[in-house]
Chain A
Amino acid sequence: MQRRAKFGIGIGVIVVAMGFLAWLGYGESKTYYHTIAELPTLHGDARAHRLRVGGTVEPGSIHRLPGRVDFVLQGEGQSLPVSYVGSDPLPDTFVDKSQALVEGSLAKNGSFVAEQVQAKCASKYEAAPTAGPPAKSADTGKKSAPGSTM
């Protein structure tokens, strides 16, 4: 069954090579998702991981400074100061009270240094003053300011 062996080797080489590349890419880009409340409980290695944190932007907390944008994320009654240092412009949806997802790492002082920010507008219904159906989330499109291109 030499023929089958040839195919087997060909397939094996491809699968193993791709598996190896996938493993490399995984190591390079794995990001741990945590809530704001979980951050202080992280210790050792876990603090050094690339992290992704979600929360709501505190109204009035956005300060655009040269080279970075500072703001505060809130969630579960806790708040987290964030400095965005990425080069891409912040997404249009990033405003007070919008829900944001930041990706980056924890600084020594417990604040967060973000390299990427994604944002989605708060539900339009929640603030609606008039009577209406129970709050329901509005669909706000795809995504904003993702990472790198291919």
Chain B
Amino acid sequence: MDVFGSFALLLAFICAVYAFVGGIFAIRTRHPLLVKSVRQAGMATCGLIFIATFSLVYLFFSDSYWVAYVVAHSNRDLPTFYKIAALWSGQEGSLLFWSFLLAVYVLSALFAYRNKNGELMPYVGVVLAGVQIFFLTLNNFVASPFKVLATPGTNGALEIFTRADGNGLNPLLQYPEMVIHPPNLYSGYTGFTIPFAFALGALLARYPGEKWIHLTRKWTMIAWCFQTVGVLLGAHWAYAVLGWGGYWGWDPVENASLLPWLTGTAFLHSVMMQEKRGMMKVWNVWLVFLTFMLCILGTTLTRSGIVSSVHAFAQSSIGNWFVGFLALILVVCLVAYVKNRDYLKSENQLDAIVSRESSFLFNNLILLVSCVAVLSGTLFPVFSEWLSGSRISVGAPFFNKVNLPIGLLLLFLTGVGPLLAWRKTSTDSLKRNFGWPSVFSLAVGVVMFALGLREFYSLVCLILCVFVASTIVMEFYRGAKVIRARSGASFAASAVDLTLRNTRRYGGYIVHMGMVLIFVGLAGAAFNKDAQKEMQIGSTLQIGPYSLLLQSFESKPERNYTAERMVVEVMRDNKALMMLYPERRFFQTNEQSGTMVAIYSTLRHDLYVVYAGQSPDNQRPVIHAYLNPLVKWIWFGGVIVVLGTIVTLLPNRRTVLALSAVQEPATARPIAPTLAPSITMREGHD
């Protein structure tokens, strides 16, 4: 199977090269047969990558301990579930997994547009094949996952050597979320390849109009959604597994996942300016180029250890390949842009500072500032070493100082932007849209201040959350009211109807609502508490409203590890509430240990309990408890974001309605009177 897999990879490489070189000829000659054969070579590349990936999965499942990668990341007792995760737990496997996911996207794109957009697709195919060639080069010649263990035999020739068992999977990764987090994040990283290929292809082909944006919108949304989920799952994993009570530490690997998310978010918003007003064409093309480059950079940072979290550690030569690839992409993008830039002329100018355009502009600006800050902070050790010779790194205060105000500004724009009219917004409409939300949120702010909330950023954040949430609720309310007046259905049904008629606009609101919930959760971080205590059976630790009573402490062998476990009873107001079992697992195969945090999560706060080992003096177990307010809102917000994204991907429901005049227009945008009766005409305004 290992030989089979590596042959499949080699063939995939050859097919990709053919798709690339043949594609260039196909563009030159426009020969229909060549175009078709190149497209099919592209599809074959993907199929071969699938075969190679499944071969590696098979090797894991069949416990093939002569394959170096399997030995390094699996063992016989490893649960099946984690044998799949073992696929991407190391360098070689994750690069193959990158190729695999990319192949899924490439195959879908090539297949979906096989008979469409004939002018554009050959260019797109060449770009996609180019990206695939890079990764297949790594898979084949730099980091092959199919290397076998060999030992010199009696006659001097090398013989395959089989180990009895593997080294096992890193315990930090033996956690259900680690099975879904990397695929999500990687799907995000790889997914941006499609909009990138379309943007570059359209630029090279001088393909007319905004077509490439329409074509790639869905792909971008999907990639963005995966990226969002990936970032949040990473945060949740860090929270639930690493046992330090927090979820975001501005670690280079975390930052790497955030960077393309920031530019991807900027791109999602700024393309609307191009769709609606023909503006920002150069900006959009560069945003998508940048997003793709940051995806590659993210993979570089994760895989190469250039700025590893732990700087001095083993650096891998793979970094040079990635840096070279990044430089190559930059050169290609620059050349394509310089040669074809006249095709990206803007059709319109910014009209007023209080307009939808300017809110998008500022949204983009601050997302980019945040991106630059995070990027420079992450790469600071590298740059400072080049410039001054000493390796200086910056920590959480740097990132927080810049990103907290940016986050709040962004939150503000989330509420304001969607309700501003294109071109210019009248004072009247400002009052109507923002009057009540402002009054309401300030009132809530005053109440919270009176209740003792004095943390500046958290207070502002919560006020803004209320503000944005109420603008969104008002939008749904107004729209639903109009529908209800006509159909007589309930408010809820009308709101659903409203959403389905303009999925893009109202799905967008749902995504914004999810972001609001996430910000509520982030605001809670200022009020985290923790306490630590050596415990005896029967002793208690008090934290917030809870007291934790240690009932017993045991050591228990399991199939794959031995667990030291505390049995803790949680009491509140002297009433027993529930049991928690924080533990530490010791894995025999690789002599590593893993902490299992016990969390009691409510909307108000999380009670987060860690078994912190035994005290050195008296072998008593030590308990470390945290009380983290509002954390659950972050994960819940993430779920809402995903739901909203799914809504935006649904096609609009087109209902034939007997149009009647609406008593109260839903918004006061300048609307041609002939269009006014139906609210479906608002489609054009999102």
Contact = CB atoms under 8 A, between A and B. Distances in A.
Contact of B624 (A25, A30, A89, A136): A89
B489 interface: no
Given A14-B369, A30-B393, A149 B528 contact: yes
A41 interface: no
B163 A130 contact: yes
Best-surrounded residue of A25, A99, A130 (most CB of chain B within 10 A): A25
Given A18-B369, A92-B592, A99 B395 contact: no
14 contacts: A21-B401, A33-B390, A55-B312, A63-B616, A89-B624, A93-B172, A101-B311, A137-B316, A138-B73, A140-B172, A142-B238, A146-B244, A149-B246, A149-B525
Contact of A32 (B72, B391, B404, B406): B391
Interface string B244-288: 111111110110000000000000000000000000000000000
B350 A7 contact: yes
A139 B170 contact: yes
Interface in A69-120: 75, 87-89, 91-93, 95, 99-101, 118-120
Interface in B376-426: 376, 381, 390-406, 409
Interface in B151-192: 151, 161, 163, 167, 170-173
A143 B243 contact: no
A59 interface: no
Given A26-B398, A89-B624, A146-B251, A33 B310 contact: no
Contact of B616 (A64, A124, A142, A148): A64
A136 B312 CA distance: 16
Given A10-B362, A92-B171, A66 B617 contact: yes
Nearest to A38: B390
Q: In which size bucket is the chain A interface?
A: 35 or more
Interface residues of B, number: 89
Contact of A7 (B91, B361, B530, B610): B361
B373 interface: yes
Given A118-B309, A120-B310, A10 B353 contact: yes
Contacts of A123: 314
B392 A99 contact: no
A148 B245 CA distance: 9
Given A65-B616, A101-B310, A142 B251 contact: yes
Given A92-B171, A133-B147, A15 B369 contact: yes
Contacts of A150: 248, 250, 396, 399-400, 403-404, 522, 525
A146 B309 contact: yes
Contact of A148 (B246, B358, B591): B246
B68 interface: yes
B487 interface: no
A149 B396 CA distance: 8
A29 B397 contact: yes
A145 B528 contact: no
A31 B250 CA distance: 15
Contact of B170 (A34, A91, A141): A141
Contacts of A52: 311, 393
Nearest to A96: B591
Contacts of A28: 397-398, 401
B665 interface: no
Contacts of B624: 89
Interface in B223-252: 234, 238, 242-251
Interface of A: 3, 6-7, 10-11, 14-15, 17-18, 21-22, 24-26, 28-35, 52, 54-55, 63-66, 75, 87-89, 91-93, 95, 99-101, 118-121, 123-125, 128, 130-133, 136-150
A33 B624 CA distance: 31
B564 to A, nearest CB: 12
Contacts of B515: none
Contacts of A140: 170, 172
A131 B151 contact: yes
A30 B392 contact: yes
A14 B366 contact: yes
Given A31-B395, A124-B167, A141-B172, A118 B310 contact: yes
B215 interface: no
A143 B309 contact: yes
B599 to A, nearest CB: 15
B395 A29 contact: yes
B469 to A, nearest CB: 22
B313 interface: yes
A32 B311 CA distance: 11
A139 B68 contact: no
B400 A32 contact: no
Interface string B287-316: 000000000000000000000011111101
A54 B243 contact: no
Best-surrounded residue of A14, A17, A146 (most CB of chain B within 10 A): A146
Contacts of A32: 390-392
B532 interface: yes
